[in-house]
């Protein structure tokens, strides 16, 4: 017993000496020290070429960890202040950044800037409290309090739990819309992007995944299509559409090639795209709130006494014996019309003007459309004259599309009546089986829901295969859903806030946008101001671990128009 007491006293003396002479326990942790602890706990590897912020020297004791975090896009490449002591707020903020959740903090701050949501409190602490698992509640008060050793240990333990699995879900409602956010996982810098088998939600791999969606109650909102031509360009950024029309929300739509939609397209009753066989579509009617999903092929044209004149092309010149349709609201004139073509300017179901391609001005009538025909197609339309009734009709494989004034064909179908659909609809395997950013649309039985899945970013969100997207559609409660365009085109804006990170690192110009408008609101140009999008902070521009692609056209497009 005497020897045991002596041993205890010796240990006590050693502990006291350690306390007295250890600078670690006599001062708060610095940003550099805490970054190194987080780096180790999250099991990150040192980057081959660390990027040192300007105020971090090569000889700094934590240069490798700080430089690697900057290289991966976990922290900004600007001044880092590595030797500054941390308070609670700074420690929680740094932990969130090191897990790859910087964008979520920015999004929370943007939501708090909205007038009806302002004043809800500290965005960092509120996000940390809503995450699952939540940060220690005792640390989410008095943010200016210096970080204690016990506080640092608590945050490290929380980060360790998040490393196993972490998620966040929030829904905010406004004007007949629900803005839905879901995020899970931690950053995976340098880790191969291997798709999961089955449901990615709650996956034990804890891969980073981000989904944003707008749920529309069609009793209070309309889904309208606006074209870039109304902004004076063939294509425009989604934020430009938002500044001009001031919708509640906006999202990209279906596939496109240059400024033309690929597949069936109808907007406000005007056909604008050549239907494709075997591809699914979404159709809706704003007046009665109907929405339809199904095969999107149709024969679109004019029934004449001599036979049916099918439109072979839309908004591009016809070849010999073909007829083309130029859509009201999308086109201004029919450039490149052949000299032997017949032109019929059509408005409100009547021929406004009949003219020859050789001397026609090729302009569409104000608020009307233009039919251009050559050869055999011309011969069938030759008997139409100014003032004659002329109806453009569509024979849809899915008859219910006849009730819709808007149709967008894309594919493949993801779910139907609550069941996942396995048909790839002739899309290539690199589109189906590789992880990409995705845009989808579906219904939960009452709402029309548009969603984007971010991808090609190992810090923020890896993306999803089509099979994983089917599971995500189920997780969003979508009984029926179809895949739309993806890749760098995938983007969603709600109340002026860019709610995702496009994979190009910047907005990709689009030929058209789908806008969530108040019920019955006219699609009138409100304003236009040149300004960079709100999310384009240097911290979010193509982090090196993201693998963002900047191709002018995404390989996601199934094929180019001939």
Residue 506, pLDDT > 50, answer: yes
Question: Is the per-residue pLDDT at 31 higher than 90?
Answer: yes
pTM of the model: 0.90
205 within a domain of the structure (yes/no): no
- Residue ending a domain, among 363, 396, 429, is 396
pLDDT of residue 197: 86
Confirm if 194 and 157 have CB atoms less than 8 A apart. Answer: no
Question: What pLDDT sits at residue 58?
Answer: 94
Same domain, 262 and 311: no
Instruction: Pull the structure tokens for residue 288.
Output: 């009665």
Q: Do 320 and 403 reside in the same domain of the chain? A: no
282 and 223 fall within a common domain: yes
Does residue 521 surpass a pLDDT of 60? yes
CB-side exposure of 153: number of CA atoms within 13 Å?
A: 4
When pLDDT is averaged across residues 220-234 and rounded to a whole number, the result is 96
Q: Which domain covers residue 375, as residue numbers? A: 298-396
pLDDT value at residue 6 = 39
Using a 10 angstrom Cβ sphere, with 0-12 exposed, 13-18 middle and 19 or more buried, the burial of residue 531 is exposed
Per-residue confidence (pLDDT) for residue 29, from 0 to 100: 93
What pLDDT is stored for residue 21 in this prediction? 35
| Share of residues in the chain with pLDDT > 90 (%) | 84
Domain co-membership, 408 together with 503: yes
**Which runs of E-coded beta strand occur in 312-385?**
313-314, 323-326, 342-347, 350-356, 369-373
**Is 550 domain-assigned?**
no
pLDDT attached to residue 207 = 96
Mean pLDDT computed over every residue of the chain: 90
Judge whether residue 11 has pLDDT over 60.
Answer: no
State the pLDDT at residue 27: 63
The residue-averaged pLDDT of 457-484 equals: 97
* pLDDT beyond 90 at 527: no
Return the half-sphere exposure (C-beta side, CA atoms, 13 A cut-off) of residue 460. Answer: 32
Mean pLDDT of 178-192: 96
**Among residues 250, 243, 220, 219, which one has the least CA distance to residue 515?**
250
441 close to 483: Cβ distance less than 8 angstroms: no
Average pLDDT over residues 328-341: 93
User: pLDDT-derived band of residue 543, with 50, 70 and 90 as boundaries?
Assistant: very low
Q: Do residues 313 and 262 both lie within one domain?
A: no
> Residue 242: which residues within 8 A CB-CB, separation 6 or more?
250, 493, 496, 515
Give yes or no: residues 34 and 147 share one domain: yes
pLDDT of residue 538: 30
């Amino acid at each position: 017993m005497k020897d045991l007491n002596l041993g205890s006293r010796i240990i006590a003396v050693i502990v006291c000496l350690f306390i007295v002479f250890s600078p670690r326990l006599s001062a708060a942790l610095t940003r550099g020290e805490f970054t190194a602890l987080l780096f180790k706990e999250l099991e990150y590897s040192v980057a081959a070429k660390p990027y040192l912020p300007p105020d971090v020297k090569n000889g700094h004791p934590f240069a490798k960890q700080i430089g690697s975090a900057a290289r991966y896009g976990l922290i900004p490449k600007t001044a880092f202040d590595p030797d500054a002591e941390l308070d609670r707020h700074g420690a929680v903020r740094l932990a969130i950044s090191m897990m790859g959740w910087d964008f979520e903090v920015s999004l929370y701050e943007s939501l708090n800037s909205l007038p009806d949501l302002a004043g809800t409190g500290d965005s960092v602490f509120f996000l940390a409290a809503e995450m699952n698992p939540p940060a220690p509640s005792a640390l989410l008060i008095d943010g200016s309090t210096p970080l204690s050793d016990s506080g640092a240990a608590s945050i490290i333990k929380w980060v360790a739990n998040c490393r196993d699995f972490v998620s966040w879900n929030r829904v905010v409602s406004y004007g007949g819309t629900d803005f839905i956010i879901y995020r899970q996982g931690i950053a995976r810098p340098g880790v191969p992007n291997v798709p999961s088998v089955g449901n990615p939600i709650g996956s034990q791999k804890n891969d980073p995944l981000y989904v944003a969606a707008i749920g529309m109650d069609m009793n209070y909102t309309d889904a309208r299509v606006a074209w870039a031509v109304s902004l004076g360009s063939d294509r425009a950024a989604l934020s430009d559409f938002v500044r001009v029309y001031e919708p509640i929300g906006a999202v990209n739509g279906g596939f496109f090639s240059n400024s033309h939609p690929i597949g069936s397209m109808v907007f406000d009753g005007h056909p604008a795209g050549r239907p494709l066989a075997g591809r699914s579509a979404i159709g809706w009617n704003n007046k009665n709130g109907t929405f339809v999903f199904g095969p999107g092929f149709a024969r679109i044209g004019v029934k004449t006494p001599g036979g049916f004149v099918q439109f072979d092309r839309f908004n591009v010149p016809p070849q010999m014996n073909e007829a083309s349709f130029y859509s009201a609201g999308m086109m201004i004139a029919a450039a490149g019309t052949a000299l032997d073509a017949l032109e019929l300017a059509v408005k409100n179901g009547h021929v406004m003007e009949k003219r020859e391609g050789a001397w026609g001005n090729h302009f569409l009538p104000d608020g009307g459309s233009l039919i251009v025909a050559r050869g055999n197609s011309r011969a069938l339309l030759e008997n139409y004259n100014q003032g004659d009734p002329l109806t453009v009709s569509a024979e849809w494989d899915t008859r219910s599309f006849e009730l819709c004034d808007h149709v967008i064909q894309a594919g493949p179908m993801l779910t139907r009546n609550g069941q996942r659909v396995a048909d790839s609809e002739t899309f290539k395997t690199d589109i189906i089986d590789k992880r990409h950013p995705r845009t989808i649309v579906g219904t939960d039985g009452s709402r029309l829901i548009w969603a984007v899945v971010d991808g090609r970013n190992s810090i923020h969100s890896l993306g999803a295969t089509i099979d994983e997207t089917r599971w995500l559609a189920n997780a969003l409660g979508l009984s029926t859903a179809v895949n739309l365009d993806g890749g760098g085109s995938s983007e969603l804006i709600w109340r002026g806030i860019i709610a995702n990170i496009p994979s190009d690192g910047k907005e990709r110009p689009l030929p058209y946008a789908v806008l969530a408008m108040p019920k019955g609101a006219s699609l009138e140009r409100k304003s236009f101001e040149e300004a960079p999008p709100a999310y384009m902070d240097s911290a979010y521009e193509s982090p090196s671990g993201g693998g963002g692609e900047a191709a002018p056209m995404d390989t996601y497009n199934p094929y180019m128009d001939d």
